[in-house]
């Protein structure tokens, strides 16, 4: 049984704190909205006056806050918990914040011999309730092993992504794809509907092609990531086919923000001489645009 501070009792934080409580730990809870602490207090948690107060005597400090600004404030602000930590305390930030903010906070803590994991979560509120979150963890092996029994109360999958900051980075990468893909999907289904198709049939068809299954499980591992850019499907054809699709969206007046942008990338790949390579080789083109070695 450990003493655990939990700061930030929102949609995600409250059920997470509750699962720690259910796991038999002493939970010292804090939220700037004092009424957010009531329910947990009724279930046995200690309501704290400040982050520093929550962290008093705690072996573990969890934060689940909206942005880097609030995390920074909770750690280093007036009544922040930095003053309550010692070299044995482990701070675990589960918020989704800018990697640059994580780097700044962890560097300041490390300079004073304080330990930190960044451990943002995948999945949704329902998973927080059920204790089936996915953690993307940045930090040392030993700190992760130290935290693992607690994380196991909150989630059912823990991915060690590298040193401190790498959990935050993995979360950003995941969010980039999922939030943009959501818009792309909405564009595609709008095109399906405007075309007079049965939208559910369209989804059924796409569920059996790269369109719906995603390229990550399908084309990328077999092609460019394994060093093979012989064409399964050529960039020249992708450029042509997307051109037909855009001409159709223009005729139907359906939004094609992402498709229009995507075609530019194929054009660049073509002018770099990649036109007859596999469509996954745009990855090489984009890495060149980013100035990465390829």
User: Measured from the CB of residue 105, what is the shortest distance to its own copies in angstroms?
Assistant: 15
Interface positions, 25-44, toward its own copies (CB under 8 A): none
Binding pattern to its own copies, positions 163-202, x when CB under 8 A? ---x--xx-xxxxxxxxxxxxxxxxxxxxxxxxxxxxxxx
Q: What is the DSSP string of the chain?
A: --EEEEE--STTHHHHHHHHHHTT-EEEEE-SSGGGGHHHHHTTPEEPSSHHHHHTT-SEEEE--SSHHHHHHHHHSTT-GGGG--TT-EEEE-S---HHHHHHHHHHHHHTT-EEEE--EES-HHHHHHT-EEEEEES-HHHHHHHHHHHHHHEEEEEEEESTTHHHHHHHHHHHHHHHHHHHHHHHHHHHHHTT--HHHHHHHHTTSHHHH-TTTTHHHHTGGGT--S-SSBHHHHHHHHHHHHHHHHHHT---HHHHHHHHHHHHHHHTT-TTSBGGGHHHHHHHHTT---
Per CB under 8 A, does 107 bind its own copies? no
Task: Report 117-146 residues binding its own copies (CB under 8 A).
Answer: 122-126, 134, 136
Q: In the complex with its own copies, which residue's Cβ is closer, 51 or 167?
A: 167
Reported residue count of the chain is: 294
Stretch that binds its own copies, among 42-50, 53-61, 69-77, 257-265 (CB under 8 A): 257-265
Closest by alpha carbon to 267, among 229, 239, 233?
A: 239
Q: Please, are residues 90 and 118 in contact by the beta-carbon 8 Å criterion?
A: no
Question: How many residues form the binding site for its own copies (CB under 8 A)?
Answer: 117
By CB under 8 A, is residue 203 in contact with its own copies? yes
Query: Rule CB under 8 A: is residue 217 a binding residue for its own copies?
Result: yes
Q: Does 266 bind its own copies (CB under 8 A)?
A: yes
- Interface characters, 71-90, with its own copies (x: CB under 8 A): --------------------
Q: Does the protein bind its own copies through residue 162 (CB under 8 A)?
A: yes
Pick 154 or 256: Cβ nearer its own copies: 256
Instruction: Mark the segment that binds its own copies (CB under 8 A) among 23-31, 39-47, 146-154, 263-271.
Output: 263-271
- The answer to the question of residue 158 lying near its own copies (CB under 8 A) is no
Q: Closer CB to its own copies, residue 41 or residue 197?
A: 197
For its own copies, the binding residues in 52-71 under the rule CB under 8 A are 67
Nearest to 144 by CA among 159, 129, 125: 159
Residues involved in catalysis: 171
- Contact between 15 and its own copies per CB under 8 A: no
Choice from 9, 70, 256, 277 touching its own copies (CB under 8 A) = 256
Q: Which is nearer to its own copies, 84 or 96 (CB)?
A: 96
């Amino acid at each position: 049984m450990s003493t655990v501070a939990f700061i930030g009792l929102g949609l995600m934080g409250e059920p997470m704190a509750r699962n720690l409580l259910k796991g038999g730990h002493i939970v010292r809870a804090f939220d700037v909205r004092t009424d957010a602490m009531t329910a947990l207090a009724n279930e046995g948690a200690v309501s704290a006056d400040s982050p520093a107060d929550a962290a008093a005597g705690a072996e573990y400090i969890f934060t689940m806050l909206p942005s880097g600004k609030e995390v920074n404030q909770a750690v280093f602000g007036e009544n922040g918990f930095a003053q309550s930590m010692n070299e044995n305390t482990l701070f675990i930030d589960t918020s989704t914040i800018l990697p640059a903010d994580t780097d700044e906070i962890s560097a300041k803590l490390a300079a004073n011999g304080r330990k930190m994991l960044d451990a943002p979560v995948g999945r949704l509120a329902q998973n927080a309730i059920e204790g089936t979150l996915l953690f993307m963890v940045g930090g040392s092996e030993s700190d992760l092993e130290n935290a693992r029994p607690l994380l196991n109360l909150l989630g059912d999958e823990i991915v060690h992504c590298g040193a401190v900051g790498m959990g935050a980075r993995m979360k950003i990468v995941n969010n980039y794809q999922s939030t943009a893909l959501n818009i792309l999907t909405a564009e595609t289904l709008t095109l399906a509907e405007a075309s007079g198709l049965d939208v559910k049939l369209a989804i059924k068809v796409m569920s059996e092609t790269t369109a719906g299954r995603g390229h990550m499980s399908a084309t990328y591992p077999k092609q460019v990531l394994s060093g093979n850019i012989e064409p399964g499907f050529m960039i020249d054809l992708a450029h042509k086919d997307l051109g037909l699709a855009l001409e159709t969206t223009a005729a139907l007046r359906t939004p094609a923000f992402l498709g229009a942008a995507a075609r530019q990338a194929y054009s660049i790949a073509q002018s770099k001489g990649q036109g007859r390579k596999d469509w996954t080789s745009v990855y090489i083109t984009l890495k060149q645009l980013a100035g990465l070695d390829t």
